Chains A and B, each alone.
Chain A
Amino acid sequence: MRNPKIRRWLILGIASAAFIALIANMQLWQMALSFLFPGETQVLHPRADLLILTLEHLELVGISSSLTILIGVPVGIWVTRPSGSNFLPIVNDLTSFGQTFPPVAVLALAVPMLGFGLVPTVVALFLYGLLPVVRNTIAGLRAVPPDLLDAAYGMGMSRRQALLKVELPLAARVILAGVRISVIINIGTAMIGAVIGAGGLGSPIIAGLVQDNLAFIIEGAVPAAILAILADQLLANIEGSLTHSPQEANH
C-alpha cells in the first residue's frame, strides 16, 4: 500500500468492480429512479439493460480505438523515417487542421457516405481518433535526443533495432497520452452515435430527450460519466507505469 502505483491500481480495481455491480443491478436503478421521478410511469429505457448498453458502448470504442492504434502509430513512425519524411509536413498539417473539426461534424459527415448504424460511427470514431495518436507518435519520436540515437547506432544497432529498443520505449509515454486523448474523445462521440442507431449508452439519453423523460436521461448519463472517468484513470495508470522517473502525471 505504500507504493503509490499499487495503490492507484487497487483503487481503480475497486471502483471498476463497484461500477459493474452498479450497472448489473437493474432493480436498484428501478427503485432509485422511481423515487427521484415519481411522475414517470416508465423509468428504465426498454431497449436493453445497462450492462448490455455499456458493452455495446465499449465494443464501439474498442473496435475504433484498436484500429486507430494499429494504423495511427505505424503512420506516425513511417513519416519520421527517411522513406516517409516527404509526407511529414502534410501529415502534420492534416492532424492540426483536422483537430479543429468538431467530432460531431465528422460523425455527421460519415452518414451521407456510409449510411446509418454501426459502420459510419466506427469509421468516424476511427478517423477522428487517429489525429491525437498520429500527432503524439510523431512528437514522441522526434523528442528522442539525437545523441541517444547516435549512441545506439554506435553500438551497432540497425535502424530497426534502434526503433524498437530505443526510440519506441522512450516515446511510449507520449504515444500513450495520445491514445488516452483519443479514447476519451471516442467515448464521448460514441454517445452521439446513438442518434444514428449505433446503440450504446447514448440511446437512453436520446430517447429521454425525445420523449421528455428525465429518468431515461439520468439512466444513460450517470454510467456514461463513470465509464469515461474509469477509462481515463485506467489509461493514466498504464501511462504512469511506463515512467522510469517517479514523476507525477497530473494536469
Chain B
Amino acid sequence: MIRQLVTRDSVAVTGSIIGLASLPLGWLTLKSSRLAAGTSLSLWQVVGWDGTMVMLGLWLIALTLSLTKKTKWQAISLGISANVILIITLALAGFESSRMLEAEETFARVSPSAGIWVTLIASYILVFAARQGLQEAPAWRHLVSWTGLAAIGIMLAIGWLDSLSLVQEFSGREARFQQELVRHISLFAGSVTVGTLIGVPLGIWAVRSRRAEKPIFYLANITQTIPSLALFGLVIAPLSALSFAFPFLREIGIRGVGPAPAFIALVIYSLLPIVRNTFVGLRQLDPAVIDAGLGMGMSRAQVFRRIEAPLAAPLVLEGVRTASVQSVGLTTVAALIGAGGLGWFVFQGLGQAATDLILLGAIPIIGLALVVDTVMRTLVRLSTPKGLGGGEP
C-alpha cells in the first residue's frame, strides 16, 4: 500500500489529506468589533450540512484523482479541481460574511480563520502537483496556475469580498495605504539605486586591486551581519548629534529618526550582494576573451565597455535582485524608526493587537517582495547575452 502510494502522486495525496483535515477546523471568525475576541464558526455552522457535503465531495474527488495513475488528463483534472475548491471557498467566504454582517451590529467584523487558510495551502499543494504533471503542456499549466489567482483578483475588484474584515480595514485606510505603499517603494528602490551606484564601482575596484579587495569585503560582510534594528540604531545616534550641531540639517529633513537614517542603513545593507556579484561577475570572465579584445586593437576602456560589462551584467543584476528583495523586508523594520512604509501598519497592528491591521501590512509586503523578485529575475534573463547559458543559477 505504502509502496503504491509512493509510485502515485504522493505530493497530491498529501495536499488532499491536508484539505480534508481543513473541514473540521473553524472557518470564519465573528467579532463584535475589530479588536474584540471572536467566536469561531465551523464550516457547517457557516454553510450548513449541504454546503459541507459539497466541500467534502470536492476533496474526495481530489483525493481519488491523486490516487489515480499519473497521466496528463489526471493532472489537468487535479489542477481544475484545486482551482474549483479555491474559488468556491472564497466565494462562500465572501457571500456568507456579508450575510452574517447584515444580522450584526455595525462594528462587527468577520474574518477567515484556520480552515480557510489551510484550504488555501492545500490547494497550492494540489496546483503544484498538477503543474509537475503538465511540464509538456504549458497552456494547461498556465491555466491551472493562474485561474484561482485571477478569480481572487476579480472577486476583490467587484467587491464580492468586501465584507471580510481585511478588506474593510483596507477600505477604511485606502489613502493612508497608498501613501505608505509609495513611501515603501521609494525607500527601497531609492536605497538600492544608491547602493548600486556605490556598490558596482566598489566591486570593480576590488577586482582591480588586491589591496582593496580584503577591506572592502571585510566591511561589507560585517555590515551585513549586524542586525537591522541595531544598524538603524547605530545610524540614528550620530545623525541626531549632527542635526543638533547643525540646525540647518534639520530644516532639510535630516534628523535622528525618520527616513534619513533608514535610507542610509538600507544603502549600507544593499552593498554586500551588489559588490560581491560585481566582483564575481568580472573575476569569472575568461582572460582569453579580454586578450582577444585587446588583440583586436580595443583600448582598455573599450574592452571594459564592450566586453567585460555586458558579460558581467547578468550577475551584477542578480546581486541587485538579492539586494532589492532584502531591502523590501528591511524597509518594513524602518517603520520602527519613524520612516513610514508598509511596516507602519504591521507595527501599529502589533501595538493595538489588531490582527487585520497586521495583515494589511504583512500581506502587501510579501506580495511586493514576490513582484520585485519576479521583475528582477526577468531583467536578469533579458540581460543575459544570447549564447550564454540561462541567467538563473
Contact = CB atoms under 8 A, between A and B. Distances in A.
A221 B325 CA distance: 24
Interface string A205-216: 110110010100
Given A105-B346, A196-B350, A221 B332 contact: no
Contact of A232 (B217, B225, B232, B349): B225
Contact of B234 (A97, A109, A221, A250): A221
A217 B237 contact: yes
A220 B362 contact: no
Nearest to A236: B221
A112 to B, nearest CB: 4
Given A90-B11, A102-B328, A105-B362, A188 B228 contact: yes
Contact of B229 (A89, A116, A224, A251): A224
B358 A209 contact: no
Interface core residue of A97, A103, A201, A225 (most chain B CB under 10 Å): A225
B355 interface: yes
B6 A217 contact: no
Contact of B9 (A86, A101, A109, A229): A86
Interface string A19-56: 00000000000000000000000000000000000000
A105 B350 contact: no
A114 B353 CA distance: 12
Interface in A214-251: 214, 217-218, 220-222, 224-225, 228-229, 232, 250-251
Contacts of B236: 214, 217
Contacts of B10: 86-87
A203 to B, nearest CB: 11
Contacts of B132: 89
B391 interface: no
A192 B232 CA distance: 12
B167 interface: no
Given A225-B231, A228-B230, A105 B366 contact: yes
A60 interface: no
Interface in B1-51: 6, 9-11, 14
Interface size class of A (residues with CB under 8 A): 35 or more
Task: Tell me whether chain A's interface is mostly helix, strand or loop, or mixed.
Answer: helix
B273 to A, nearest CB: 11
A184 B11 contact: no
Interface residues of B, number: 56
B230 A224 contact: yes
A87 B373 contact: no
B380 interface: no
B227 interface: yes
A229 B6 CA distance: 45
A184 B225 contact: yes
A101 B369 contact: yes
Contacts of A157: none
B226 A104 contact: no
Given A102-B365, A205-B233, A108 B329 contact: no
Interface core residue of B128, B230, B336, B355 (most chain A CB under 10 Å): B230
A116 B353 contact: yes
Given A108-B362, A111-B355, 11 more contacts: A86-B9, A90-B11, A102-B332, A105-B366, A109-B358, A111-B358, A184-B225, A208-B233, A209-B336, A224-B229, A225-B227
22 contacts: A83-B6, A87-B10, A102-B369, A108-B358, A108-B361, A112-B355, A112-B358, A184-B225, A187-B227, A188-B227, A191-B227, A196-B350, A202-B229, A205-B233, A209-B336, A214-B256, A217-B233, A218-B233, A220-B230, A221-B232, A222-B230, A228-B230
